[in-house]
Each structure stands twice: as structure tokens, then as C-alpha cells.
Structure 1
Amino acid sequence: MSDLEDELRRLLHDPKYALPSWPDAVARVHAGMRVRRGRRWVARAFGSLTAFAAVLAIGGPVMSPTGPGIDLPSNAIVVPWQAVPYTEPPASAEKQAAECRARDFAVKGFPSGFGGRPDELIYTLEYRGDAICGITGTPKLEATAPDGGRRTTVVPASSDANSVTVYPGDSVGVAVADSDACVNEYRDPDFSFSADDPTRIRLADRLRGVCRKPKANWIVYGGSGGPLPSPRETLGVAVRAPSQVRSGEEFTYYVVLHNPGGKDVDLSPCPAYAVRVTGAGPYPLQLGGLSCGVSKIPALTGVWFEMRGKISVKPGSRVDLSWELSLFADKSGPGATATVDVVG
């Protein structure tokens, strides 16, 4: 072996000149996996931060700890859920109205006839009270007969209504038969709204040609066209519920009361509400009291109320969830409906 070969062999075995060995294949795979996991974690974290920033920016869905997220407006005013017992609302003003009394009416002008023949005269009684009243009794017409005795006639209404509400500005028309084919003359006809009304309305001095006894009927007409709606009746309602709920499990939904008017709507006393479930056979009515976390619904503004409920029907049913305000004991208020699929 030459000196050159000896020198080359020595250099190749000298550790000072040794090259790094190839890494182990398994170790290389593990290292690559660690790098990729780190990149995915960074991406997920960045995505979560981006989504959270977007929620903060636009308001995002209002999340409930007991139900799915439901998208509400970014500027929604939300009243949290609170279980409030149902309180029977008061009767409507119509139901609370006092009985109409003759002292609050006055004959307006002269009676009018039809077709140029005074076979029937209409006496207009103008209501001059400042509150509504009701005709629930049996109006009567009383007049003095030719023999001097007083005769009383029950006066039926011209409609089938058992009771009628009279509003300020309304009038009551009393139609009295007045035929010139008879010679009998009744005098001093008085009209009253019920037998227990101590006052009477004198319609005229006499009734010409009534053959036997006065015949008459009455009707409410003209005037205000009924009561103005209460401010709460003008509220708009919408319901946002999950598209699916599990049968028998509590879920969260939201109801908005929107005030379209230019004045605030007072919520004191806090109203009651009723919930109906239809579409899967008979289902009990659910009643509750609204949790008035706000004292009023501001003008041109909506307030969202978080609600809780259960629907226990056969899975696979599609039902309508209807929510409505209970303004009066005898009168429902505005409401809205959402369709829900019930799953097992």
C-alpha cells in the first residue's frame, strides 16, 4: 500500500472529518407530525379569535345555556327568562261598562220617516256620556192609552245581539210605528233601557194612529265607530324558536314586542301571556306572566323576551307554537306563531 493510500484511509477515519449521519425515518415522521399539529392548533386558535371578534363586532347570536343559539338583531334589547306565575287579567272595558241610563241621552231633533210616509218614525237618542255604557237589559216603551191607562211594550233590538256597548259619540235609534190608518192616539211616550232604570226619555207628546199599543224596536248606530285600541293592542309580536326541539325537554325561544307608534307603551302592570300548541291533537293551554325587565316598550323599538317551554308530543310531529298577550280576561291581544319539528 502506498503512502498516498495510507494517508487517505487515515483522513476518512478521523472523527474530525466525519459527516452527519442520515436521521432515523421514524423520528423524521414524528417530527413532521409535531410541526403539522402545531400549525393546525395555531390555525384553530386564530379562527376562534377571528370568529369571536366577529361576534363582538356584530352582536352575534344570543346564546342560552339551555338551548341552541337563535339569531337576534345585533342591537336587540333582551329580557332574560324568569318564571312568573299567571295572574288573571282584568275584564275588558266593555265588560266593566255600567248599564246605560236614560239620563245620559237626549232626543236629537225631530223624528224622521221613510219614503215620505210616516209609517215608522225614527227617534234619535244621542249619547252624551263620557264613558262607555252597555245595554244588557230589556228596553221598554211606555205610553198613555186613549182610556188614560199606561201601556208598556217590550222593545226588541233590531239585531240578534243580547247586549250592546254604546261608546261616546254613538246614538240609539228608536223606531216607533206611527200609522195614520188608525184613530187611536197614545200620548207621552217614554223610553227606558231597562225596568230598573228610574229615569225615562220622553220621545214626543203623542203617537198618532197606534191601533193597539205602541210598537217599536231600537238599534245603536253612528258615532265613534267603536273604541280606540289600547296601546298594548297596537304592539307587534314575532316568535323565534328552534327549528327542532326534543319531545318533553325544555327549550328556549324568544318573543319580541315591537312598538310601531310614536309613544312609549307602558307595561305596568306586567301583562300575562298564553301559549298554544296546535297540530298534534288536543294540547293543554299554557299560561304565564311576562317578566317585565323593562317598564315600557319604547316608541319605534322592539324588546325581546327570553321564554322557556316544553312540547310533549309524539316525535316526528310538526306543530305550531303560538304565543299571545292576554290583555283582558275576555279578550286576547296580539300574538304570533312559529313552526317547530319535534324529534325524539
Structure 2
Amino acid sequence: MTTNNTQENTGNANKAIDNMETNKANDATLDNTDSKVKDAGQFGKVAVVYGGTSNERSVSLDSGAAVLQALQNQGVDATHFDPKHQDITELRTYDRVFNVLHGRGGEDGLLQGVLQWFHIPQTGSGILASALGMDKVRTKQLWQGCGLATAPFSLLTADTDWQQVVNMLGLPLIIKPVHEGSSIGMTKVNNLDELPAAYATAVECGDAVMAERWITGREFTIVIIDDEAYPVIRLEPADITNFYDFEAKYNRNDTSYYIPCGLSGADEKHLQELSLAAFRAVDAKGWGRIDAMQDEAGNFWLLEINTVPGMTSHSLVPMAAKARGMDFDTLCWHILAQTL
């Protein structure tokens, strides 16, 4: 998430957290005394990598600046590193990397491979999980193979029989670039005639495009840190007939976030367990986020995984962490400590 989201939304989300029914887990205040790292000097010289050249550059700049400030606030010797303007080999002068490079280049295994080659510890998932997570189709194929429910889909090409796609998946549909994040290039399609234009929009982001069955129901995101699923967040765009698109995530001021999420205790636990299974299936590590839907019959459907989520002070990961009693600075320290 970027700082374009309004304080009103953040206030509503924080108010929901503050007013939630207390329990022992949420009563506990977590700080750096709970971390295995007690002294900022243990981290050495840290590169906070953000910016880059992907379509998510603007989001990454906002997330990375927030992380950098949080680490510097706590005495960490942290420096901004932008691969768009700096030679990637310069990372060899650093002791570790906090990766906030959203999208291609930073979230798809490329940066992970470079850092592994240089023997530099890094936050988050490794090469395999990053490459899989950035490929929506292969992620869904893996989940299907593991018996995890994910919305039905079909790969598209310029020669696709659009009627056949509708016959298979029904209407409405969601058309997505396979290798993009932040809902870039996505279009909701309500009738057959809209498919060619939606495909054309998505293919501008790359050759691989997919159609996915539209799930009517409630949308949720599940933050996972240290192999623990945090309190589930329900997302509600102002126009609930649409979806949580780039505008709703970053530019609109009328998206609502709910913690507690409105699920029963049993359903929330089930969704957390499903998300953990999905996270582990792609070999994700450290921290990340799973997006899911609940249809009108109460069934949960996995959508996708995000291995380098937004990290401003009012993004979804910090929102879930706050519900666990962890402020933003502590969250950033905690994630960086995973590299030791």
C-alpha cells in the first residue's frame, strides 16, 4: 500500500483494531525485547532495496521509504539502494538486504538469485517461492495439485475462443496479467463482448494472460510472519460489485478494512490454516500475504500470494501486525531479524 490511502481509512482500520474484543494474544505488546536481535549493531550494514524498474516502482518507493525510516529510527545502519540507479554488484558491500522491491526484478526470484550468489542474507522468500509466487498460473496449478481450493482459470492468447472461455468459467470474469502485482492490468468482464479489450489491456503487461472465474462474496487478506497467520483482514471496496483494484488499493479514499474480519472464530481459523498451507506449498519463507475470497455459499477460494507486500505504516501487513500488538518500527526490526 502507498501513502495515497487516506488517513480516514487508516483511522477506521485502526479504530476497528483498537475496539476489537481483547484476548491474550492481542493484549500482548510486542517490542524488540522479544526479538533474538537486541542490538542494532548486530545487523551490520543494511541495504533497503526499493524502487527498481517494474510497473510497481511508485508503490515500492513508498513502501521502502517507510521501512528505511523505521530501521533508522531504531539505530540500524540502513541505506536506500535503488537498482534503477545503482549497479547491483554494489550490494556486495552490505551485510544484509531488506527487500522491498515490488514486482518484477525484486519479487520474481531475480534479486533473490543475485543475493544468494553473493552470499548476502535477505528478508523474505528465496528463488523458488519468489518465482512461483510471481507466476499466478503456476501458483494456482501447484495449489490445485496440493488439493487447495483456488478459483478456476484459463490461460488466454490472441487466438482464444472467447465463447469457450465463457462456457467454461461463466460470467463475470476477471482478466489478469500472469506476472504482475498490485492488480495492474486487471479488468472485470461482465459480458462476452468485453473480453477482447480486457485481454488487450492485460497483454500490455506481458505475453501471459489469464481469465479467472469471478467469485461473488467477501474478500480477505491473510498476513503470515514466521509461519504464523495473523488476524484476518476483510477488504471492502466502496463499490462491492467491483474488485480491490489498483485504484482501490492506492488512490481511492473509500475502501474499508475490517479487523475483526466478521468471520466466525472457526471460519477465521480455517482460513488461516488454508493460507498457511498455501504459503508453505510454494516454499514461501519469513513473511508474506495470501489473498482469498469467500463465496456466497461460505466456501473459501485462494487467489494469489504476495511475497513482498506493501510496507507503508498503513498497509495491510502493518495493519495485521498492529492487531497482534506490534507497531510498524518493531515489525520492520522483526522482519530484518529473520536474516540472522
* TM-score grouping bracket, smaller chain normalisation: under 0.3
Task: Give the TM-score normalised by the residue count of structure 2.
Answer: 0.21
Task: Compare the two structures and name the one with the higher helix fraction.
Answer: 2
Q: Which has the higher contact order (CA 8 A, sep 6+)?
A: 2
Q: Which is higher, the Rg of structure 1 or of structure 2?
A: 1
